[in-house]
Amino acid sequence: MQASDDKSWERFIDKVMQEAEPEKLTGDFTENVLGALDAIENAPLVSGYKAPISRMTWLVLGVVFAGVLVWSSLGSTSLQWGWTSRLSTYLDIGSLFEELTLPALEYTSLYSIGLFALFVLLQLVYMKRLFDRRFGLEG
């Protein structure tokens, strides 16, 4: 009985589907596809690069960096970082610094260079994410 029922509604669907037809696209679909493909093929491989850190920011950073260098070489050479001297009163790490024969001037320069390197590093990470997103390397 079940098999006969199945057959009859299968036959019904066969009949119904004879009346059906695929959906129709309207408009200039073909031209749109060809146009889209042309646009993809003619797109420049590398899009115009826009620096994540602007020229002005670099200029300010450069001036600050140069200023620190000039100040550290011409200014007070007896610069002592507060935290090292304060720490050394509680911890005996002063001897560590004593063993390092670098004068205060060079520490200052070292910190400046470290700061500069940090900025470069941050820009590299930021740029990698930016390019990944732009060229669809993610997901």
Partner 1 sequence: MGQHSDQHLTQRLKEGDKQALRSLIELYKHMVYTLALRIVHNEEDAEEVSQDTFIKAYQSIEGFKGDSKLSTWLYRIAYHRSLDYIKKNKRKPQTTTLEWEEVSNIQMAEKVWDHMEAMEKRQVIRRALGKLPGEDGVILSLFYFESLSLKEISGVLNISVNSVKVKLHRSRKRLAALLEKMMDKQTISSYASK
Q: Which residues contact partner 1 by CB under 8 A?
A: 5-6, 8-10, 12-13, 15-17, 19-25, 29-30, 32-34, 36-37, 40
**Residues in the chain, overall count:** 139
Q: Measure the CA–CA gap between 87 and 5, rounded to whole angstroms.
A: 91
Instruction: Select 39 or 120, whichever has its Cβ closest to partner 1.
Output: 39
CB 83 → partner 1: shortest distance, Å?
A: 51
Residue the block writes with tokens 């007070």? 76
Q: How far is the CB of 23 from partner 1 (least distance, A)?
A: 4
Q: Give, rounded to a whole angstrom, the gap between the first and last alpha carbons of the chain.
A: 53
Q: Which is nearer to partner 1, 82 or 139 (CB)?
A: 139
Q: Transcribe 2-16 into DSSP letters.
A: HHHHHHHHHHHHHHH
CB of 28 to partner 1, least distance (A): 11
Tokens of 84: 């090292």
The residue among 14 and 92 lying less far from partner 1, judged by its C-beta, is 14
Look-up of token digits 């590398």? 46
Burial of 69 (0-12, 13-18, 19+ CB in 10 A): middle
Minimum CB distance to partner 1, residue 17 (Å)? 4
Nearer to partner 1, 31 or 99 (CB): 31
